């Protein structure tokens, strides 16, 4: 949960490493009693981070 909330609260410039610390295997969502879709949220943060860095369209397509 902190990997999603912290970047949203302090910004990706300060906490940009947190969304990338996850393997996105979905286990957190499986065991979450509320079924929170953390992997999807982390993917969105990663996408936002790469788009703001001005990566090439080819690199963005590969990461999407």
Q: What's the predicted TM-score (pTM) here?
A: 0.75
Longest CA pairwise span in the chain (Å)? 39
More confident residue, 31 or 53: 31
Mean pLDDT, all residues of the chain: 87
Q: How far is CA 32 from CA 4, 8, 37, 56, 64, in A?
A: 15, 20, 9, 36, 25
Q: What is the pLDDT of residues 27-46, one digit of tens each?
A: 999 999 999 999 999 999 99
């Amino acid at each position: 949960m902190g990997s999603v909330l912290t970047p949203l609260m302090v910004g990706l410039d300060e906490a940009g490493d947190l969304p990338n610390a996850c393997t996105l295997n979905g286990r957190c969502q499986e065991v979450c009693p509320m079924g929170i879709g953390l992997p999807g949220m982390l993917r969105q943060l990663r996408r936002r981070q790469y788009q703001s860095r001005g990566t090439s369209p080819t690199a963005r397509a590969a990461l999407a």
